[in-house]
Amino acid sequence: MKQAKTQLKAIAKQLTALSKRVDKLSVMLDKAPKAAPKKAKKAAPKKAAKKITKKKAAAKKAAPKKAAKASAAKGLTVLDTVFDAIKKSRKGINIAKLKEKTKLDARQLSNALYKLSKKGTIKAVSRGQYAKK
């Protein structure tokens, strides 16, 4: 029992010493200037022994690019892309055309239309037809 207590005390001392070291290191890291992260070199990809079938190759080529991804690269949100599509139409635009122009699925488009109408930036002309206020 006595031996266990002495061992626990020794471990406690070591833990406090380690915590002090960690605190010092974190302070040093906060003070150090941040350098740009180095890019890791990629190993040359190994060629696969499997042959790619025509269907797989066609599927890879036919993968549709979404407008939302392109607009995200420009810094636009989903709301921005939907509002831009509505703003460009003179008499308003229906949901089918919005889906086609924005390449968003029904749920995303529905949420965006709801938020824009609550903000007051668009109005529902008729069922499924939206225009800028």
Which tens digits make up the pLDDT trace of 42-79?
Answer: 666 665 555 556 555 555 555 555 555 555 557 789 99
The tens digit of pLDDT for each residue in 13-51 reads: 999 998 889 888 888 877 777 665 666 666 666 655 555
**Three-state secondary structure call for residue 73:** helix
Strands (E), the chain: 93-94, 122-126, 129-132
Other Cβ atoms within 10 Å of 11 Cβ, number:
10
- The pLDDT score that the predictor gives to residue 1 is 85
Query: How far apart (Å, rounded) are the C-alpha atoms in residues 133 and 76?
Result: 20
> What predicted TM-score, i.e. pTM, was given to this entire model?
0.46
Specify the amino acid at residue 128: G
Sign, CA torsion 72/74/76/78 = negative
CB 66 within 8 A of CB 101: no
Q: Give residue limits of the domains in the chain.
A: 66-132
Q: Please enumerate in sequence order all residues whose Cβ is within 8 A of that of 97, keeping only pairs 6 or more positions apart, or say none.
A: 85, 89
Query: How far apart (Å, rounded) are the C-alpha atoms in residues 84 and 10?
Result: 67
Tell me the CATH number for domain 66-132. Answer: 1.10.10.10
